[in-house]
Structure 1
Amino acid sequence: MNKVELVYRELLFQALEKNNFLLTQKELSNLLSMSLSTVNLSLKPLRRMNAIKVNPMNLKTINPRKVLLYWASVRNLNKDIAYQTRVDVSISEIEKNIPANCIFGAYSAYKFRFKEVPADYSEVYVYADSLDEIKKRFPSKSGQPNLFVILKDVNMGRYGKITSLAQTFVDIWNLGEWYSSDFIKALEMRINGILE
């Protein structure tokens, strides 16, 4: 994920999970350990589409849906996959054997956040610090991959053991499995419930 996307994730985390629509660029810069110029650059498309309003003292997220859909449209999840393999056990067994320092994403994140799923799924997506332990537990094997590993960014641990609500949406939006649309519909309903 590039630095611009880290800003989108933080704006949406604050709005959707903390009910905080007001931040400063300096706050974002400090929270994400990035330069003010990078924060400012990332906000330009959001300003242009009236998803945020930048004032001299702060910025306000006025349309989180626009931010979410914009991020979903620029995210390239496939580019970020660092390792993939076939694991011939059930999805719940794969999830049980994921190293403790990993963060669950996509379908697993939905399941662990909401304690239910809108459809059965057959892939596990996780974010990891490194690939060493993952490769030990899940060696490379031919066949249709069902375990996908993405390297964590430095700020990811701030959001817990599963991806943020917005990142879960954005990552699933970028997946092509037939049931991803069921998860997106369910997430849209939950996000609409938060924003209304």
Structure 2
Amino acid sequence: MFKEEAVIREILCEVLYGDNMIEQKRISQLLRVSIGLVNKTVGRLEQIGAMSKTGKKYSVTSFKKVLMLWSSLRNLQRDIVYMTRVILPVREIERDLPDGSILSAYSAFNYMFNEAPADYSEVWAYIPENILPEVKTRFPPNNLPSNLYILKSDTLLLENARRFSKGMNLVSVPQLYVDLWNIPSWYSKEYIALLEKKIAEIKDGILE
């Protein structure tokens, strides 16, 4: 995942759970990325009418435009570092993932909101590189159609998950949205539709 995506994710999380004002310097320090990168990302969002300058800060004028831009930039397939077929129910696969795993997609939605709009048969999870060998030991490779997808994790994603998923080892809501958007399974559309309703419940009118 590119650092620009981490900046966009932070902007979305801060707006979803706070106010609409964004301070570039603070984001730069929080994510340990250059102020130039933050300014470039904010400038890109300003060009599409998703942000506007207010004094020394920027405000997000269209949360949905920011979300759609990131969804179009996200390349989930590029971040897959391992996939295999596991002949177990999805709940057992989720339970057997090693400590340090961060669930995304259908599993994250299910645990985050305690409901699922459709049955699912795939598990997607972000895994730090140091525990990938353990994942491969628990879930050996085979030539069957995959139902377990392991994504490359990074420090910024882990920190974001800790701050915005209430300690549940789940991705944040914006990360969940763009990941679902980039999964080809037919039922991902049902999850996206319900997630948009959940986002509107978190902050009324945010997707308008």
TM range (shorter): over 0.9
2:152 aligned partner: 151
Q: 1:47-71 deviations in whole A, cap 9, x for unaligned?
A: 0111111345212112111100111
TM-score relative to the length of structure 2: 0.90
Q: How many angstroms apart in 1 are the aligned matches of 2:66 and 2:196?
A: 14
Q: What 5-or-longer segments of structure 2 have no aligned partner?
A: 163-168
Shift of 1:143: 0.7
Matched, 1:177 2:178: no
Q: How many angstroms apart in 2 are the aligned matches of 1:132 and 1:126?
A: 14
Q: Tell me the secondary structure at the aligned position of residue 156 of structure 1.
A: helix
More moved, 167-176 vs 154-163: 154-163
Number of residue pairs the alignment of both structures matches: 195
Name the aligned partner's letter for residue 3 of structure 1. Answer: K
TM-score relative to the length of structure 1: 0.95
Matched, 1:111 2:110: yes
Q: How many angstroms apart in 1 are the aligned matches of 2:20 and 2:153?
A: 26
Q: 1:139-182 deviations in whole A, cap 9, x for unaligned?
A: 11111101111111211222231111011010000011010010
Q: How many angstroms apart in 2 are the aligned matches of 1:171 and 1:40?
A: 25
Name the aligned partner's letter for residue 103 of structure 1. Answer: I
Aligned identity (percent) is 37
Shift of 1:41: 1.4
Evaluate the alpha carbon distance shift between residue 178 and residue 150 of structure 1 in structure 2; reply closer, same or farther with a 3 A threshold.
same
RMSD: 1.2
Matched, 1:166 2:174: yes
Name the aligned partner's letter for residue 109 of structure 2. Answer: Y
1:134 aligned partner: 135
Shift of 1:44: 2.2
1:14 aligned partner: 14
Matched, 1:78 2:86: no
- Report runs of 4+ in structure 1 exceeding 4 Å deviation: none
Q: What 5-or-longer segments of structure 1 have no aligned partner?
A: none
Name the aligned partner's letter for residue 182 of structure 1. Answer: E
Name the aligned partner's letter for residue 54 of structure 1. Answer: K
Name the aligned partner's letter for residue 18 of structure 2. Answer: N
Q: How many angstroms apart in 2 are the aligned matches of 1:105 and 1:188?
A: 16
